[in-house]
Structures are given as C-alpha cells and as structure tokens.
Structure 1
Amino acid sequence: MFKQTLRTMSKHPISKTEAEWRAILSPSQFAILRQKATERPDTDKNLAGSTVGVYTCAGCDSPLYKSSTKFDAHCGWPAFYEAIPGSVELFEDHSHGMTRTEMVCAACGGHLGHVFRGEGYDTPTDERHCVNSISLKFKKDE
C-alpha cells in the first residue's frame, strides 16, 4: 500500500529542476511543496466555504480534491476525507521520530501533507488528509 520514503521527485510526469521550481513558486510554496516543510496551523487561505469546486496542486495545477470532500477537523489545516482517484501518492514517513503517511501530488511529487486514519471522524472513509493550504489552489466550478 505504501512506497518507501526513499524516492526522487523527478519520477513524476511533471518534472522540473530546483531552479525552475523556485522561479514559479513563492518561497513558502517551495519550502512546503519541494522541501517538505509544514505551514503554521490556521493559515488556511483556501476557505471556500460552501463554494463548489476543485482544489488543485499549487505547483502544477493538477486536480487533487473535490470541495465536497472537505470537512472541518478543527486541526488548523484543510482536511479532506478522500482525494480524487489517482491524484495523490502515499509514502511511509519516518521523520521527526514518528511513523506517518506522507502524501504527495502524483503529477509533480509536491509534498501536500499527511493522511491520518481511524481518528473517528464522521466521514465515509474515516481518513483525514491534512493538507498544507499553501500547497493548494481553489478553482470554483463554473
């Protein structure tokens, strides 16, 4: 189910050099998407409320989450109960002295956040995809 964390970010359909990523991403986006940083809690700029649309990768614009799968987990980061099929890859993450499930954009390999299971949320999957808001863009349905 999981791939090991030892991987290169160049094995994705959208591949750029570090310089190319730096040219198109803000410093915060680069730190999170390319260097696996985490934004401070409650910096969510993607509060779409009841707006219908799709959350896309801030690095490559690939669709990641439907707005209908977003829920309020009161954790300080955007939370979704499932990704669009095939849009996210999962890896075991053993950083910071713990084992977690990292998720990255399947198209560009950009770090999105982590998936947590079995926390008891009343969602169809009992999963919480905890995503850095800086990793996302919102596109309203027309």
Structure 2
Amino acid sequence: MKRTFRLVIPAMMLAMPIAFSQLALATETMDPLCQSKVENIQKQLGIAKEHGNEHRVRGLEKSLEGVRRHCSNERVIEDAEEEVSESMEEVRERQAELAEAQREGDTDDIRKRSEKLEEAVMELEEHQDELEALQNQQ
C-alpha cells in the first residue's frame, strides 16, 4: 500500500501543472462573451462557497463546466435573443389580459393587469439592453 502511494503522489504532482496550464490555455482562447460568463459564474461560485451552499456550488460547477466546453459568442447572442423573444411573448400575453380586464370593467383587475404588464415591459427592456450590450462586446 505504501509503495503504491509513493508512486501515485509523484505522478499526481507531475500531472498538476499540465492540467492547470491546459485550463489557463482554454480560458485564454475562450470567446470574450464566454469569458465574461465564466467570470460571472466564478463570482457566484465564490459567494456560494462562502455561504456553504453546497447544492448551489454543485450547480454552478456544472454550469461552469458547460460554459467552458460548449460556449461561443454566437451561442451567447442566440440565448439573449431567445430571452428577448420570450419577453416579447410575455408582453403580448399581458396586453391581452389587460384588454380582457378592461372589457369586463373590473377596476381592481385592470390595476393588477396593468402592473403585471409594466413588469413584463421592464423585463423586456432589460433583456433588449442585455442583447444590445452583448452585440456591442463582440
């Protein structure tokens, strides 16, 4: 057992610099938008570790691995475009709900539907701003 341990440790020590240099190389060659995503996830990961949130840590590590393996500028832009599209659909739905409440004449319902529509519009604007910022970073 001791003999195996003595052989494994030196091999691990030799492999560590290679593994770390490959990680550094992968980060250096990463698309700029992906690098930004990696940095954001790493910040969140640090916070999750500080707070001992193991479930969040595992999720973020999995997310980080996925970004490192599959991310590209084009994919980040596509994801942002998808968010804008989904937000636009949400706004349309909220507009239809408000129109229905207005037809029914229920003032309390009209107020609630108006507030929901305003929230959906703000979210859409945020997603549009994000997309524009991403497109400008390319």
Place the TM-score, normalised by the shorter chain, in its bin: under 0.3
Q: TM-score, normalised by structure 2?
A: 0.22
The structure having more radius of gyration, on CA atoms, is 2
Q: Say which structure, 1 or 2, has more relative contact order (CA 8 Å, 6+ apart).
A: 1
Query: Which has the larger share of strand?
Result: 1
Query: Which has the larger share of helix?
Result: 2
Q: TM-score, normalised by structure 1?
A: 0.22
